[in-house]
Amino acid sequence: MAWREKSSADGSVLEVEGLRAGYGPQTAVFDADLTLRRGEVVALMGHNGAGKTTTVKSIFGLVKARAGTVRYEGREVGGWRPRDSVANGVSFTPAEQFVFADLSVRDNLRLGSLSNRSAERRDARMEQVLDLFPILGERADQRAGTFSGGQQRMLSIGIALMSDPRLMLLDEPSLGLSPAVVDQILKTLRELANNESMTVLLIEQNMKYALEVADRVVIMHRGSTTLDATAEEMRRRGNWWDLF
């Protein structure tokens, strides 16, 4: 599947410079810088309270930036709301289980495709999601609320995929899941990046998981990005405690 939109001249899909954001009087992000290129998976890592989730929510439009710039596909999008982000090919999957518990798997996925006006693409996406996560296909008519935590996490990613995103933002997709489920989810994200040139920014706490899927790792500490390194550089490093 070939994406239609163009990135900026240097191939960057997302550029964040000097981002500052927070909640009420509290500032959670003081100085965040990120660059993601087409087809790249980047893991954003750091301790709880480092500012990771606030950064991603600011990119998506859930938290208003107080300073700095956010450019997506070459356009400054600092004033976008979440619906603007979705309409322009950005999805966000929160750490919480984000499914409609009383609806079937199939209906959950259909709701995720409301921003996709092409019936042909909606049908193709449905088929793809059910193929990526076979358990969803096997139980497509089952209520989402009866699923395990791992199955609901798969469904939440499937909902995001139904909007046909070019940039996926995910908050801790491995949280509370078994290693087997995590491996399946990470493998799926890597396949999407490789096969569809989808760009993925994921928040992760587990370095082992991050290095299985990411091209690069960005570290946040006390509200600022402090390191941007390739996954290979991080593997060679071997010890990461001093970064956090």
| Predicted pLDDT at 115 | 79
Mean pLDDT of 7-31: 87
Q: Whole-angstrom Cα distance, residue 130 to residue 119?
A: 17
Decide if 84 contacts 77 (C-beta within 8 A).
Answer: yes
Position 244 pLDDT exceeds 80 = no
201 pLDDT exceeds 60?
yes
Question: What's the number of CA atoms in the CB half-sphere (13 Å) around residue 174?
Answer: 22
Q: What residues are paired with 70 via a beta bridge? A: 16
In the chain, CATH 3.40.50.300 sits at 9-89+165-237
Task: Give me the mean pLDDT over the 28-50 stretch.
Answer: 96
Confidence of residue 73 (pLDDT cuts 50, 70, 90): very high
Compute the C-alpha angle 174/193/104, nearest 5°.
55
Query: Span 9-89+165-237: which CATH code?
Result: 3.40.50.300
| 42 pLDDT more than 90 | yes
Res 88 pLDDT > 50: yes
Residues present in the chain in total:
244
| pLDDT at residue 1, as a whole number | 26
Torsion sign across C-alpha atoms 130, 165, 201, 106? negative
DSSP assignment, residue 172?
-
Confidence of residue 7 (pLDDT cuts 50, 70, 90): very low
